[in-house]
Amino acid sequence: MEWQNKTPPAANDEVLSTPVTDERNEAETKVMRPRSLVVLHWLTALFLAVAAALILIRDEVDGRALRLWLLEGHRHFGLLVLLLFAVRVVLRFRLGKLPGEGNTSALIRLAAGTTHMALYALLLVQPLLGWALSNAEGKPVHFLGITLPALVASDENLADSLTTWHQDVAWVLLALITLHMGAALWHHFVLRDRTLRMMLPERRR
């Protein structure tokens, strides 16, 4: 009979839509970053912001005890950035090369890679400069109740040089972070790809 050879429209639509949905979900998964990497990324950003805020507030307040507390907080968050740097490097080696997003030119990919490498280098150098600066000033560095070994001996002239380097690197780091943020917004609003969205924690569902 004729009705036995017909497939219900709803069932037919479901069969046709399933491969498309699977392909879309697969594409979404390919461009997402591992959750651990996303968490480390935003923790690093948070700790950098807190470290910068503490040292800037310290320059605006009076009271020796409060200034010492703010300086100690600045050191701790700087060392936390150094710790996260080490974890991120290990994780990136374990993950290997991550898939890219978008159809950018080779020149732009080279610029992005160079910026990322420079950011990684400064995330290592800046906390070490701060650590060495404290030692050069004759101040021990404490981290979570542990007294860390001195990187350099107490030296007033070296302390002056390290202060300048620490401040200069902070400005370079700020410039690179601004460039990094601008590139992410450019990908999101101009290229309209998922470069920014795949690093947002709320998208990790």
Tell me the pLDDT of the chain (205 aa) as tens digits.
444 444 455 444 444 444 444 444 444 444 567 889 999 999 999 999 999 999 999 999 999 999 999 999 999 999 999 999 999 999 988 887 776 665 677 888 888 889 999 999 999 999 999 999 999 999 999 999 999 999 999 999 999 999 999 999 999 999 999 999 999 999 889 888 888 888 887 644 4
Burial of 148 (0-12, 13-18, 19+ CB in 10 A): middle
* pLDDT value at residue 102: 59
Q: What is the dihedral of CA 40, 41, 47, 52, to 10 degrees?
A: 160
* pLDDT value at residue 201: 78
Instruction: Please tell me the total number of residues recorded for the chain in this structure.
Output: 205
CATH topology for 33-203 is Fumarate Reductase Cytochrome B subunit (1.20.950)
Token pair listed for 149: 């070994």
pTM over 0.85: no
Residue 31: which residues within 8 A CB-CB, separation 6 or more? 99, 101, 194, 198
Burial 161-183, CB ≥16 within 10 A → b, else e: ebeebbeebbeebeebbeebeeb
Q: How far apart are CA 47 and CA 170, in angstroms?
A: 14
